[in-house]
Amino acid sequence: MSLHTHIVGVGGYLPERILSNETLSTMVDTTDAWIRERTGITQRHILAHDQQTSDLAVEAAKQALDDAGLTIDDIDALIVATTTPDMVFPSTASVVQYKLGGKGFPAWDIQAVCSGFVYGLAQADGMMRGGMFQRVLMIGAESMSRIVDWKDRNTCVLFGDGAGAVVLENREGEGGMIGSVLHCDGSYRQLLMAEHQHNGHEPGKAIDFSMDAAGVAAIEMKGNEVFRVAVSKLGEVVGEVLDKYGLQKSDVDWLVPHQANIRILNATAKKMKMEAGRMVITVDQHANTSSASVPLALNHLYRQGSIQTGQILLLEAFASGFAWGANLIRWSKS
């Protein structure tokens, strides 16, 4: 019997601090009704002053490892998808490895913004099928509140912090990862970005070492343009991944999408002709947590006890870059 990549543990973590729409409306010119109507979001979680992205990742990882009945010593590789690392370097994955008590096995970050977890699953699956690893801890973790312009009501209402994780195991048995499709088109990059300005590095000018070279990153987005492309590309990638692996839309039991905006979620479900209740929606509770949103949605579905063995899950995400992709999974976790 051939080996397949199976999800054997699932976990998630949201910081304790909750920022409601009502509270946010005292900070910026917005209202609860305005946010709900345009995004579907009612609240978002914000990390504590003494927390970092790695801390969120560690909590999600602990839950996933416990769910799998494993420890960090059983892991062969650790991947963290994040847009908001603890520092420029070393990788957040190396920090997470240390905080979990691991040592020696490879650990690295993936930066594909909101598509990071989908990209990471595809990468881990490919490496595991190739025989490099038996068990991989895959985490999506973000502290988006660190790069939000809290004076920009068009973007600050959209994002929150959190982490989700899965433990992957390469073993015999039916089910597991069916396959993935990934894409990127950098020509759209300026529609959604958080530019890291390097003062003193302007072309044609001498470097002024007295200036602050760290710069500031804040999310900038042209919402209408992003919405149009996102709906189009997500519709395309759903059809592509199903065609590639010989499945129909009706074969999908659960759609686990990136939790960006309720309008994008509903538009994608409509294109798939998805039955009501078969699409996971968590954006209302934690907003857009970038690379953490797909694993958090999966954790929510799993903790509800809704997934049955043999059911097919379609994970999909769209991100700045633009980067987008999808994973197909036949659920095999008992």
- Coil, helix or strand at residue 327: strand
**Catalytic site residue 45?**
no
H/E element, 284: helix 283-286
Both tokens of residue 143?
């502290």
The residue annotated as part of the active site, out of 4, 45, 258, 300, is 258
Give buried/exposed letters for 111-133 (b at 16+ CB in 10 A, else e).
bbbbbbbbbbbbbbbebbbeeeb
**Catalytic site residue 288?**
yes
- Coil, helix or strand at residue 264: helix
The residue annotated as part of the active site, out of 45, 114, 286, 300, is 114
Instruction: Give the relative orientation of helices 92-100 and 53-68 as an angle to the nearest 10 degrees.
Output: 50
**Catalytic site residue 114?**
yes
Q: Are 41 and 31 in contact (CB under 8 A)?
A: no
Q: Are 253 and 311 in contact (CB under 8 A)?
A: yes
The residue annotated as part of the active site, out of 170, 288, 299, 327, is 288
What sign results for the dihedral spanned by CA atoms 51, 56, 57, 60?
A: positive
> Cβ–Cβ contacts within 10 Å for residue 88, how many?
8
How far CA 38 is from CA of 34, 127, 179, in Å, comes to 6, 40, 33
Which of 129, 116, 133 lies closest to 176, judged by CA? 129
Catalytic residue positions, numbered: 114, 258, 288
